[in-house]
């Protein structure tokens, strides 16, 4: 209340605000905690995963008992938020965000916070935010580095920002990285303080937006890296592209794509096949090196085959297809695919 510009009126705006946090991993945990303590009245938390022991190094809303019981992250996060402030409204959604349900979630909120670990869902949220006119705060972290940027293309008019100074994600990064190209926290590891910094930065941007302090927003591509301790900001002024397929032409390819046909349960085999989001030639030798920290992977008959923790087995084909053995749950298989191969 004492901070200039965050007095009674701003507090009332926060209490009446609704934030959507997609992904309740480390980024999401940090952001959710700060949004709840800032008094953001309604939070919708979406995550398809359950708490595991290895999450506790960085995912600050969860405790040992959550991991032992395998509580869904969205549920565990909701419980924690309600312990912080019982007056807050919290919706926990244990769901895989897809083109089928994303618009429903995005429609109801004022701001979306990216707590994701895969690129494709970010592009899906970018489409939905632009189409439905919502603010979207991107955040991403892996290893000892992270990035954040506000995506204001959908709300530029309402905020009085020129369209050319309010790029969407695709104005800056036109295409999703190819499968197997991006590192994930499971293949590269993650430094707890780095991901907490990025989550806090993104939460700060969302709180400024919701409180009506647009003048304080950092409209830049912000990045930090705790290995060499560098931080940088790249202004987004002029980065909005009129020829952008999403915010320029308003063609929402990711919303229109049939993302849900990617998993096929293989009958009677306790296995699920996952297809890549986009056809790509996969460098299996490189992938083998990246997956070394997860288990023993060997090349066999042109496939990369290995065992993961528990009783899961993963076989990756050169075209990016994979078979996950040890489950018949498409959501579990998709999660393993995203963690190991990316996207
Ligand atoms: Zn754009």
Structure tokens, 260: 């849900």
- Portion of the chain with pLDDT greater than 70, in percent: 97
Sequence ranges of the chain with CATH classification 3.40.50.720: 8-256
CA of 112 to the centre of ligand 1 (A): 17
Spacing, Cα 75 to ligand 1 middle (Å): 34
Residue 343: pLDDT over 80: no
Q: What is the pLDDT of residues 208-218, one digit of tens each?
A: 999 999 999 99
Q: Compute the mean pLDDT over every residue in the chain, rounded to the nearest whole number.
A: 92
pLDDT the model gives residue 292: 87
- Which CATH number is 259-340 given? 3.30.310.10
Which listed residue (29, 109, 185, 263) is catalytic? 185
- Interval 235-293: pLDDT, tens: 999 999 999 999 999 999 999 986 556 888 777 678 888 988 776 788 888 899 888 88
Locate CATH 3.30.310.10 in the chain: 259-340
Q: Three-state DSSP class for 62? A: coil
Check if 185 is active-site: yes
CA geometry: angle at 207 spanning 59 and 197, to 5°? 40
What average pLDDT does the segment 53-71 reach? 95
What is the fold of 8-256?
Rossmann fold (3.40.50)
Strands (DSSP E) contained in 15-133 are 18-22, 42-46, 89-93, 111-114
Q: Is 97 helix (H, G, I), strand (E, B) or coil?
A: coil
Between the CA of 245 and the centroid of ligand 1 the distance, in Å, is 7
Sequence-ordered list of residues with C-beta below 8 angstroms from that of 24, at least 6 positions apart, any chain: 32, 45, 46, 47, 49, 59, 61, 73, 74, 76, 77, 115
**Is residue 6 over pLDDT 90?**
yes
Which of 21-25, 119-123, 139-143, 213-217 is the least confident region? 119-123
- The stretch 174-193 carries a mean pLDDT of 82
Least confident of 22-36, 194-208, 251-265: 251-265
The more confidently predicted of residues 275 and 84 is 84
Contact 26, 47 (CB under 8 A): no
Question: In this structure, are residues 36 and 58 in contact, taking their beta carbons and an 8 Å threshold?
Answer: no
Ligand 1 center to residue 230 CA distance, Å?
28
Q: Which bin fits 248, alpha (ψ -120 to 50), beta or left (φ > 0)?
A: alpha
CA 254 – ligand 1 centroid, Å: 13
Q: How far is the CA of 88 from the centre of ligand 1 (A)?
A: 34
- State the distance from the centre of ligand 1 to the C-alpha of 227, rounded, in angstroms: 31
| Contacts of residue 12, Cβ cutoff 8 Å, sequence gap at least 6 | none
CA of 173 to the centre of ligand 1 (A): 9
Tokens of 88: 């807050």
Q: What is the pLDDT of residue 311?
A: 80
Separation of CA 72 and ligand 1 centre (Å): 34
pLDDT band at 48 (very low <50, low <70, confident <90, very high): confident
Encoding tokens for residue 257? 């794509």
Pick 308 or 279 by higher pLDDT.
Answer: 308
């Amino acid at each position: 209340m004492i901070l200039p510009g965050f007095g009674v009126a701003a507090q009332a705006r926060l209490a009446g605000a609704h934030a959507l946090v997609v992904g309740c991993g480390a980024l999401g945990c940090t952001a959710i905690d700060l949004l709840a303590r800032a008094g953001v009245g309604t939070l919708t938390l979406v995550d398809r995963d359950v708490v595991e022991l290895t999450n506790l190094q960085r995912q600050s809303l969860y405790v040992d008992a959550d991991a032992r019981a395998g509580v869904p992250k969205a549920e565990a996060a909701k419980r924690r938020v309600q312990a912080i402030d019982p007056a807050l409204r919290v919706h926990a959604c244990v769901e895989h965000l897809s083109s089928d349900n994303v618009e429903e979630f995005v429609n109801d909120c004022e701001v979306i916070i990216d707590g994701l670990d895969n690129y494709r869902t970010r592009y899906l949220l970018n489409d939905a935010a632009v189409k439905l006119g919502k603010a979207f705060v991107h955040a991403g972290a892996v290893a000892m580095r992270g990035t954040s940027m506000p995506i204001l293309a959908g709300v530029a008019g309402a905020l009085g920002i020129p369209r050319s100074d309010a790029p969407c994600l695709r104005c800056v990064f036109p295409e999703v990285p190819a499968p197997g190209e991006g590192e994930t926290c499971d293949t590269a590891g993650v430094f707890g303080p780095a991901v907490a910094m990025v989550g806090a930065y993104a939460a700060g941007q969302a709180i400024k937006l919701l409180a009506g302090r647009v003048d304080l927003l950092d409209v830049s591509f912000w990045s930090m890296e705790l290995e060499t301790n560098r931080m940088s900001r790249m202004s987004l002024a002029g980065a909005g592209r009129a020829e952008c397929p999403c915010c320029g032409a308003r063609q929402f390819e990711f919303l229109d794509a049939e993302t849900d046909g990617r998993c096929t349960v293989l009958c009677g085999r306790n296995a699920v096949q996952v297809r890549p989001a986009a056809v790509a030639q996969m460098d299996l030798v490189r992938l083998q090196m990246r997956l070394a920290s997860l288990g023993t992977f060997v090349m066999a008959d042109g496939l990369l085959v290995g065992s993961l923790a528990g009783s899961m087995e993963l076989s990756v084909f050169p075209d990016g297809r994979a078979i996950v053995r040890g489950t018949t749950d498409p959501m579990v298989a998709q999660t393993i695919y995203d963690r190991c191969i990316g996207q």
